[in-house]
Chain A
């Protein structure tokens, strides 16, 4: 199937190349009537030319060359019906690819008239009708294409979804079931059946269908929402909430070579960027990578393409290439804050703090109110051990967004590094009073109360209370370690040791050697020193 589709697309591309080459020296005006390509024979419709004036140059030229080719085809005599039909059909595909639906329909109608046994034109008429919000018409076209090509699975999915939209559940069900006869694991058909079950109040069946979909396409995290709502109706609140926590924006994609192939017809940087960004947002990173590469092949110095490609490469963990793209973007557009910021983040991850600082300072020269850049700068200055400068930037950020927990935590870390323990504790306490449900704030405060290097700031009882609150909720080793510190501060060395031994067992399972060493040192103090509190 895939090879067949690839060949089909190759043929399509070869055909299009032929068209482009054949119109190179064709200098005739498009039409005497600039708005209309007249019908060359009875039974065909005239084609209205869309307005191309605002289109990107490459796109306009592409469309115009196909228009000239079609004009030539309509004036060539004799010609076969198939040749003329393919010319109309291809023009229709170009129009549809660029969302110019009215002329696409006219072209497809002629193609379907000239080639009545080719399911493709009826099918694409169905697709374009759907895009024009004409569902009933789409159904008619799909049915016609189905008669000509009963083994093309996407027809059944489209029909099922169209009937579902019209709330014609039994027709929808029939089509999804036919799709499953062609491919028993087709996720779109299973999902459609789940939706029908839900509408019928058969929530158990709906749940089963949605679960099966997720087994087949676990990445389609939007299905978790449907599953959650099915569980909600089944009164299983816990499972409903679990699946809500897993839900995302990635839906089920129906492989449809005929329709998907239209995207291959698109030219121009703008549309590549658009498609790339859509893929990026949908977390289809490999697809985004290809689109941005194509955009850069057309326009190597496109800054948006470089930045977006860089972002995609980050998602694909190709950090060196990402850095290279961001650097090129910065070279081409030194004021591009996004490129510089992204670069700073990556350089920071490589401990190249001074380089990161340089980029962040450049951003802030142009945009002093860019809080995210200033926050990162504050952290980088701290990482570069420029503590006084870091403090000044942190104060600036904290005053801008005093209620942000990330800023608070990072700021207090700096204060601790500078030995300003009391100020750190006060800030955390104030924040805790204002936001008593913020876990990281509680954990940081508990840590300071249990093990502050300034012993007079310690409060073992409160540290234990707060650390248990967090640990009981998260069960994280780090939070358990704070509980142990609180026990030790209260003189409950055995409790501290017992808990730490449990934490060590847990860490040994996940093989975190750094944490293991730290915990073993702590355990040694809890077992062997009296008092066993942190020094």
Chain B
């Protein structure tokens, strides 16, 4: 194994990255590696489990390579726009890699972020497994899906086509000059906080509406979505208290006709285990980089 190709090689490599990334291209060494994987000249690499491999084979779906896209994005100007932009750039880079690999789709796309703090910015990374489908030529626009390989195959089998990742986000400030302090009068009473509640609901609704718009670009609906929201109380020196709400939703867009392609027979089983059953395991693998339970101010 080559551990240290020397300073010169490292400099050349860096220069290739610098040329490639701003131009929506891949460095030649990445493209060549993926091309070789697509042509079957080097071993395929896949995040699939053996069970997923077995099921995919049955439908002629074959793994090619693990593909990825990264964008470290500064969203200080607009959180709402910044987060979808960051993910979209990362997804576009993943798509470039899928194209180089001659793939028809990328499955099991997961969102990741590195724990490294840099103010008002974060790592938007997507990784997944590029696959090809027997009998199909390489796609000019490979499908990108956050669902796992098994779910992807299951959807295809039912005639539902996953087509891409849809994103909706929104943030807003609740301005005390306009509405007064939304919490002050309610200190001792048990009652709904109307102003704050309405504000937070609007932020969520706008994010959902943005998701709907983004889905329209791709297909008929969205599945398997994951979301992240924060309602923050911000108190700056000598300023009235302000509230910041922000919300982002991500999911897999699908093309599917209503009341079409309903699955066939389902057998019901009673699992006789008393403790946690593998059939009831609540731990589905997460595709989100956002800490769903985390309401603290963080790197996001």
Do the two chains belong together in a single complex? no
* Interfacial residues, chain B to chain A (CB-CB below 8 A): none
* Interfacial residues, chain A to chain B (CB-CB below 8 A): none
